[in-house]
């Protein structure tokens, strides 16, 4: 196309240019994401209203804040979408380095420790989790590197990719935030596989990974609570004695108790009476399971399926490899988080502190997810332009 920038685009809009980006908005993706985010406000409210009311606080506090986060997330997504995604290839390295700086800073006394992980910055009444933003930055940087050639990923670029994901992963692990570390590894895998990593490299990576895990346990580099989580998982159902075992058991009970149609909104006793810890954040799925039952949970699962499907489809439709790889990274990020989070709530995965994208309470996660989805929408919209 030879048309000049602004007037041309406006003109195209007015003339009904079939290539105009806004005409190619991925409505199913947006619709599914908005549905889940809307449900999130309700579920977060249900999970927190009783305990807030008991504490004499406004029961709507979490609802209001989650709605605000969703609003911010949508605005940020709109901003992301308004610019051509290829622009981000250029600013990504700067954002990435900024994230690394924040990840280092959060380990200093400037960061705040919550639940024995130093993962947050206190900004007024809000908490910023730099690990969340880092995920998106890593997606874009890895995609940029992977897209430099249309052929397979040679060893050099494979190693660079490994470093790009590995450095923040190592910093996040220091907090310690095992969940985010695993997400970064999943993103890395998603991008390099689609980018054409050689099976030989992947095999070596797998071997190193196995050796690394063995070494961590062997040299006692694993905290007790992490070990508990893993072993409790392996022993699930045998009468939990540790706190993480209790968590897993109660979460499973809550979901199972929902049955086909659930106890009804606000009616879940496991939820109301606080049997599931961290319920508005990491264990939000148990609220859906208990109160909305199989009908609600399966619907939620379908919505996530729609999201993943649309991201996958966008990856295939993308006009360039960069777009494909961005989508692959976002897909890996969301897919891994959904599987790990729901899996741990249902007792088929070990417990790690990971939010369920769009559903868990928390600004950093909500906004980051919308940035990621914004990127995908961006790729989808501009596949003809």
Q: Which is nearer to another protein, 183 or 328 (CB)?
A: 328
Least distance CB 75 / another protein (angstroms): 29
Residue 217 or 261 having the CB closest to another protein: 261
CB 227 within 8 A of CB 352: no
CB-based contacts of 304, cutoff 8 Å, min separation 6: 32, 36, 334, 338
Q: Which CB atom, from 87 or from 152, has the smaller least distance to another protein?
A: 152
Q: Is the peptide bond before 176 cis (omega within 30 degrees of 0)?
A: yes
* DSSP-assigned letters across all residues of 297-324: HHHHHHHHHHHHHHHHHHHHH-SSHHHH
CB of 278 to another protein, least distance (A): 12
Nearest alpha carbon to residue 85 among 312, 308, 323, 318: 323
Which residues in the 242-271 window bind another protein by CB under 8 A? 250, 252-260, 269-270
Q: Nearer to another protein by C-beta: 286 or 364? A: 286
Please name which of 53, 284, 77 lies closest in space to residue 61, comparing C-alpha atoms.
Answer: 53
Complex with another protein: residue 93 or 256, whichever CB lies closer: 256
Residues whose CB falls within 8 Å of the CB of residue 309, separated by 6 or more in sequence, listed in order: none
Residue 94: Cβ-neighbour burial (10 angstroms; 0-12, 13-18, 19+): exposed
| Shortest Cβ 297–another protein spacing (Å) | 5
Binding mask 308-337 for another protein (x = CB under 8 A): x---x--xx----x--x---x--xx--x--
Q: Which residues 182-241 are close enough to bind another protein by CB under 8 A? A: 190, 193-194, 196
Are 184 and 172 a contacting pair, CB within 8 Å? yes
CB-nearer residue toward another protein: 124 or 239: 239
Q: Per CB under 8 A, does 307 bind another protein?
A: no
User: How many chain residues interact with another protein (CB under 8 A)?
Assistant: 49
Expressed in percent and rounded to 5, the helix, strand and coil fractions of the chain are 70, 5, 25
Span interacting with another protein, options 66-74, 124-132, 341-349, 350-358, rule CB under 8 A: 341-349
Q: Which residues bind another protein (CB under 8 A)?
A: 150-152, 190, 193-194, 196, 250, 252-260, 269-270, 273-275, 277, 289-290, 293-294, 297-298, 301, 304-305, 308, 312, 315-316, 321, 324, 328, 331-332, 335, 338-339, 342-343, 346-348
């Amino acid at each position: 196309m030879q048309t000049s920038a602004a007037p041309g685009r406006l003109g195209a809009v007015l003339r009904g240019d079939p290539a105009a980006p806004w005409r190619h908005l991925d409505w199913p993706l947006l619709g599914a994401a908005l549905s889940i985010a809307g449900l999130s406000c309700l579920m977060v409210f249900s999970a927190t209203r009783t305990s807030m009311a008991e504490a004499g606080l406004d029961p709507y506090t979490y609802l209001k804040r989650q709605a605000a986060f969703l609003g911010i997330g949508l605005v940020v997504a709109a901003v992301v979408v308004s610019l051509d995604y290829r622009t981000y290839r250029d600013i990504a390295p700067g954002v990435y380095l900024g994230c690394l700086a924040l990840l280092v800073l959060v380990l200093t006394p400037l960061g705040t420790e919550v639940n024995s992980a130093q993962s947050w910055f206190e900004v007024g009444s809000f908490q910023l989790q730099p690990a969340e933003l880092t995920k998106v930055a890593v997606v874009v940087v890895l995609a940029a590197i992977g897209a430099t050639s249309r052929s397979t990923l040679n060893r050099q670029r494979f190693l660079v990719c490994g470093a790009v994901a590995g450095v923040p992963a190592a910093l996040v692990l220091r907090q310690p935030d095992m969940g985010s570390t695993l997400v970064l590894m999943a993103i890395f895998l998603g991008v390099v596989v689609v980018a054409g990593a050689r099976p030989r490299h992947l095999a070596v990576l797998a071997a190193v990974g196995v050796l690394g895990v063995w070494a961590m346990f062997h040299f006692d580099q694993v905290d007790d609570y992490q070990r508990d989580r893993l072993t409790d998982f392996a022993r699930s159902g045998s009468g939990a004695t540790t706190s993480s075992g209790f968590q897993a058991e109660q979460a499973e009970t809550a979901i199972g108790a929902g049955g086909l149609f659930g106890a009804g909104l606000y009616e879940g006793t496991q939820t109301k009476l606080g049997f599931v810890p961290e319920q508005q954040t990491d264990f939000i799925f148990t609220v859906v399971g208990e109160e909305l039952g199989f009908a609600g949970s399966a619907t939620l699962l379908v919505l996530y399926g729609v999201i993943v499907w649309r991201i996958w489809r966008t990856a295939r439709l993308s006009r360039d490899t960069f777009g494909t790889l961005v989508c692959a990274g976002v897909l890996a990020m969301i897919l891994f988080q959904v599987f790990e989070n729901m899996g741990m709530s249902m007792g088929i995965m070990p417990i790690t502190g990971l939010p369920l994208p769009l559903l868990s309470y928390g600004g950093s996660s909500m906004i980051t997810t919308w940035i990621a989805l914004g990127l995908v929408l961006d790729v989808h919209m501009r596949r003809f332009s």
